């Protein structure tokens, strides 16, 4: 296991803090690099001019209206989904828990498409509430389905219930999009999980939910760590387990719901990133959550811009993440198969 | 040892406790005295763990009340209860890669306010808990790297870090070899004598209980079959009734108090593998 303790000198706490600072310091240069990637060549230094003295040139418009919102959306969505996944893995003691696998992303996406198809609502600030509702209802359904029968909500039963609900909701969502002749290409891309075509206004409308969710999640890291020890131990040391499980669920709904409203159901981020963070810092969920935010932001940013830079094809990031994440998922499921029964 | 009786701190009155519609403990009453080490003994499945979980507030009794200094524990919040009473389950679970120190620090949960920094009192309580359990050198090891006995001591350290007056321990000696068992029991004895703690521990060895505890409570089929000092409780008759074991009681040559010497079990295993009591 590539543990930080082996790489960095000093005491454990200092090593973890130093690692976190390094990760956060990586975000700005990677974000600026992402601004340079695209079909038209733009000099790396031009973002500064574009921000400070926008002159309406084609390059400046591309930077400000296309690449900047895309980059910001990638950072937000990555951090939000990764932290949501970390919370879910802590609270359910389930290595396979994540907003993608347990149907929460699919539920949020379904609710948004439903609202677009059957109401006249199309403002992101209103649609996000449908995403919250869909995420909450889907999460509740998966938990209820997975809890039926002997042994309660085991990791495997939850993952199966999540897979079933995701398959169902995704096919209904796709049908709605295909049947509705009026839907834009933009929306179809969104339904596959994509950062393309977000306006800066949309990002600005949805960012407060995501940022508030991230801030609350990091503030609640300590009780979430206590929850990760299991209900019995948590109650013994004085935690109101029911209240904190509900609050953690609410955080997941806000983080995953607003991420889906922004970029559609992007999978695997919430599964893979907390595992990577755990390999770096161990079982302490306070650090896992703190690491997950920059790691998730970097992963989505690099997956989105990297595929364009490498092969020049503009793939929706949801598809890139599925290509990257599926092998990791299989490896995790095999390694943890003893725990899943 | 100490005076024969002390005021009751934790009291169960006429409690009926069970899971899934089956009553395991029936109209049981027990009073745990302040500043005493009480050992709870009984055959497998007699309801020891169930009673302990109810006393710890983790399982609500179907009938009857459990009170702490006269106040029903159902009226206390989890945090209020955890500041006064700590509980170590029989097989506690935590993620394998958590370190001993991180686990022990969890014991401070009821004393910390949201977002408040780690205080000097928190640090002192954790250090003391690690020292008392001889876990200082192992503090940065992950739980998975420890032996069964070390792991048990790590959990006990978490329980001690809680700084509660009452400790409820479910079979704390189970995974330990003989030396570690005696060491742990001596530690419990010291916590009572020097810190004035009140301890209720489920034990299996009646002689160890007689040697280290102030009071013995014998549980049989969900009710109290005997409670008192070792000399009053350890008799061939009570042990025959409660444990279905025949034997004799001798004076302990090394310490005041009785010693039980088992001769034979009064049970036979029939063809179906079921226990059938002969007496």
pLDDT digits (tens, 9 = 90+) for A206-241: 999 999 999 999 999 999 999 998 888 899 999 999
Residue B277's pLDDT is what?
A: 46
Residue A182, pLDDT above cutoff 70? no
Residues on chain B touching A225 (C-beta within 8 angstroms): 106
Q: Which residues, 6 or more positions from A148, have their beta carbon under 8 angstroms from its beta carbon?
A: A157
Q: How confident is the model at residue A10 (pLDDT cuts 50, 70, 90)?
A: low
Across A189-203, B66-80, B264-278, which has the greatest mean pLDDT? B66-80
User: How many residue contacts between A and B have a Cβ separation below 8 Å?
Assistant: 77
Nearest residue on chain B to A11, judged by CA atoms? B140
By CB atoms closer than 10 A (0-12, 13-18, 19+), residue B189 is middle
Q: How confident is the model at residue B175 (pLDDT cuts 50, 70, 90)?
A: confident
Q: Tell if the CB–CB gap between A283 and B92 is shorter than 8 Å.
A: no
By CB atoms closer than 10 A (0-12, 13-18, 19+), residue A107 is buried
Residue A244's pLDDT is what?
A: 93
Q: Tell if the CB–CB gap between A283 and B95 is shorter than 8 Å.
A: yes
- B257 φ, ψ to 5°? 115, 170
For residue B79, give the nearest of A219, A229, A238 by CB distance.
A238
Average of per-residue pLDDT values in chain B: 89
Q: What angle do CA A310, A312, A314 make, to 5 degrees?
A: 110
Check residue A54 and report its DSSP letter: -
C-alpha span between B256 and A218 (Å, rounded): 57
- Chain A closest-CA separation from residue B14 CA (Å): 24
Residue B237's pLDDT is what?
A: 92
CATH superfamily of B8-235: P-loop containing nucleotide triphosphate hydrolases (3.40.50.300)
pLDDT single digits (tens) A127-178:
999 999 999 999 999 989 888 877 677 777 888 899 999 999 999 998 888 8
Evaluated on CA atoms A272, A274, A276, A282, the torsion sign reads: negative
**HEC secondary structure over chain B:** CCCCCCCEEEEEEEEEEEECCEEEEEEEEEEEECCCEEEEECCCCCCHHHHHHHHCCCCCCCEEEEEECCEEHHHCCHHHHHHHEEEECCCCCCCCCCEHHHHHHHCCHHHCCCCCCCCHHHHHHHHHHHHHCCCHHHCCCEHHHCCHHHHHHHHHHHHHHCCCCEEEECCCCCCCCHHHHHHHHHHHHHHHHHHCCEEEEECCCHHHHHHHCCEEEEEECCEEEEEECHHHHCCHHHHHHHHCEEEEEEECCCCCCEEEEEEEECEEECCCCCEEECC
Q: Which residues of B162-174 are buried (b: 16+ CB within 10 A; e: fewer)?
A: bbbbbbbbbbbbe
Instruction: Find which of B100, B106, B118, B161 to mutate to test the A interface (most A CBs within 10 Å of its CB).
Output: B106
| pTM of structure | 0.86
The mean per-residue pLDDT over the stretch A269-286 comes to: 91
How far, CA to CA in Å, does A323 sit from each of A105, A191, B111, B186? 18, 17, 47, 59
Residues on chain B touching A238 (C-beta within 8 angstroms): 78-83, 109-110, 162
Q: Are A63 and A43 in contact (CB under 8 A)?
A: no
pLDDT single digits (tens) B188-204:
999 999 999 999 999 99
- Chain B closest-CA separation from residue A117 CA (Å): 43
Torsion of CA A247, A252, A258, A261, to 10 degrees: -130
Give all domains of chain A, ordered by start, each with its CATH number. 4-338 (1.10.3470.10)
Quote the percentage of chain B above a pLDDT of 70: 94
Length, in residues, of chain B: 279
For residue B94, give the nearest of A229, A241, A278 by CB distance.
A229
For residue A226, give the nearest of B58, B77, B106 by CB distance.
B106
Q: How confident is the model at residue B4 (pLDDT cuts 50, 70, 90)?
A: low
Residue A338, pLDDT above cutoff 50? no
How far, CA to CA in Å, does A269 sit from each of A72, A247, A273, A291? 16, 22, 6, 13
- Chain A closest-CA separation from residue B155 CA (Å): 10
C-alpha span between B260 and B246 (Å, rounded): 10
Higher pLDDT, B52 or B90: B52
Residue ranges of alpha helices (H) inside chain A are: 4-7, 12-36, 46-52, 58-61, 68-92, 104-118, 124-147, 155-179, 185-191, 200-219, 221-227, 231-236, 241-263, 269-281, 285-311, 317-335, 337-340
ipTM: 0.82
Q: Which segment of A75-89, A103-117, A243-257, B265-279 scores lowest on mean pLDDT?
A: B265-279
Residue A206's pLDDT is what?
A: 95
Q: Tell if the CB–CB gap between B102 and A284 is shorter than 8 Å.
A: yes
Q: How confident is the model at residue A328 (pLDDT cuts 50, 70, 90)?
A: confident
Residue B1, pLDDT above cutoff 60? no
Residue extents of the structural domains in chain B: 8-235
Higher pLDDT, A56 or A307: A307
pLDDT single digits (tens) B9-42:
999 999 999 887 788 898 999 999 999 999 999 9
Residues on chain B touching A336 (C-beta within 8 angstroms): none
Nearest residue on chain A to B144, judged by CA atoms? A283
pLDDT single digits (tens) A303-319:
999 988 888 888 899 99
Residue A7, pLDDT above cutoff 70? no
Residue A1's pLDDT is what?
A: 47
Residue A72's pLDDT is what?
A: 96
pLDDT single digits (tens) A90-125:
998 887 889 998 999 999 999 999 998 888 887 888
Residue A107's pLDDT is what?
A: 95
Residues on chain B touching A232 (C-beta within 8 angstroms): 58, 89, 92-93
By CB atoms closer than 10 A (0-12, 13-18, 19+), residue B228 is middle
Residue A183's pLDDT is what?
A: 66
Residue B108, pLDDT above cutoff 90? yes
Residue B2, pLDDT above cutoff 80? no
CA B118 to chain centre: 29
């Amino acid at each position: 296991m590539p543990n930080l303790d082996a790489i960095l000198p000093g005491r454990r706490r200092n090593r973890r803090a130093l690692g976190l600072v390094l990760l956060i310091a990586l975000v700005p240069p990677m974000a600026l690099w992402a601004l340079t990637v695209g079909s038209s060549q733009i000099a790396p230094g031009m973002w500064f001019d574009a921000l400070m003295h926008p002159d309406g040139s084609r390059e400046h418009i591309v930077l400000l209206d296309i690449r900047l919102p895309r980059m910001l959306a990638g950072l937000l969505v990555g951090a939000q989904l990764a932290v949501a996944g970390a919370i879910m893995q802590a609270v359910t003691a389930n290595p396979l828990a994540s907003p993608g696998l347990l149907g929460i992303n699919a539920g949020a996406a379904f609710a948004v498409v439903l609202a677009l198809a059957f109401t006249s609502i199309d403002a992101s600030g209103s649609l996000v509430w449908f995403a919250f509702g869909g995420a909450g209802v889907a999460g509740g359904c998966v938990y209820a389905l997975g809890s039926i029968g002997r042994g309660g909500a085991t990791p495997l039963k939850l993952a199966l219930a999540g897979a079933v609900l995701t398959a169902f909701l995704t096919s209904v969502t796709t049908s709605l999009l295909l049947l509705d002749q009026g839907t834009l290409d933009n929306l179809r891309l969104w339904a596959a999980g994509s950062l393309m075509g977000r306006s800066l206004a949309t990002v600005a409308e949805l960012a407060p939910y995501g940022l508030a969710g991230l801030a609350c999640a990091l503030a609640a890291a300590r009780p979430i760590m206590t929850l990760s020890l299991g209900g019995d131990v948590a109650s013994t040391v004085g935690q109101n387990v029911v209240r904190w499980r509900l609050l953690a669920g609410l955080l997941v709904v806000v983080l995953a719901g607003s991420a889906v409203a922004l970029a559609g159901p992007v999978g695997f981020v919430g599964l893979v990133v907390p595992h990577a963070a755990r390999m770096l810092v161990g079982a302490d969920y306070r650090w896992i959550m703190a690491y997950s935010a920059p790691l998730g932001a970097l992963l989505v940013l690099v997956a989105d811009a990297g595929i364009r830079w490498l092969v020049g094809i503009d793939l929706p990031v949801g598809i890139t993440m599925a290509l990257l994440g599926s092998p990791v998922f299989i490896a995790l499921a095999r390694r943890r198969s003893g725990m899943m029964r | 040892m100490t005076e024969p009786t002390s005021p009751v701190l934790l009291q169960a009155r006429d409690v009926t406790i069970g899971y899934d519609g089956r009553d395991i403990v029936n109209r049981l009453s027990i009073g745990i005295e302040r500043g005493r080490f009480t050992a709870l003994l009984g055959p497998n499945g007699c309801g020891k763990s169930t009673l302990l979980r109810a006393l710890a507030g983790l399982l609500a009794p179907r009938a009857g009340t459990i009170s702490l200094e006269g106040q029903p524990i159902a009226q206390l919040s989890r945090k209020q209860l955890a500041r006064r009473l700590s509980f170590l389950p029989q097989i506690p679970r935590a993620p394998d890669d958590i370190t001993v120190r991180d686990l022990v620090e969890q014991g401070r949960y009821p004393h910390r306010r949201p977002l408040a920094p780690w205080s000097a009192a928190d640090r002192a309580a954790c250090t003391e808990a690690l020292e008392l359990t001889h876990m200082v050198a192992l503090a940065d090891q992950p739980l998975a790297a420890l032996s069964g006995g070390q792991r048990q001591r790590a959990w006990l350290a978490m329980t001690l870090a809680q700084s509660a007056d009452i400790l409820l321990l479910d079979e704390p000696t189970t995974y330990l070899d003989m030396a570690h068992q005696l060491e742990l029991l001596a530690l419990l004895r010291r916590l009572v004598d020097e810190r004035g703690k009140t301890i209720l521990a489920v034990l299996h060895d009646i002689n160890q209980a007689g040697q280290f505890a102030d009071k013995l409570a014998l549980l049989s089929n969900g009710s109290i079959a005997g409670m008192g000092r070792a000399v009053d409780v350890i008799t061939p008759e009570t042990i025959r009734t409660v444990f279905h074991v025949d034997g004799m009681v001798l004076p302990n040559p090394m310490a005041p108090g009785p010693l039980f010497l088992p001769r034979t079990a009064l049970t036979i295993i029939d063809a179906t593998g079921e226990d059938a009591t002969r007496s």
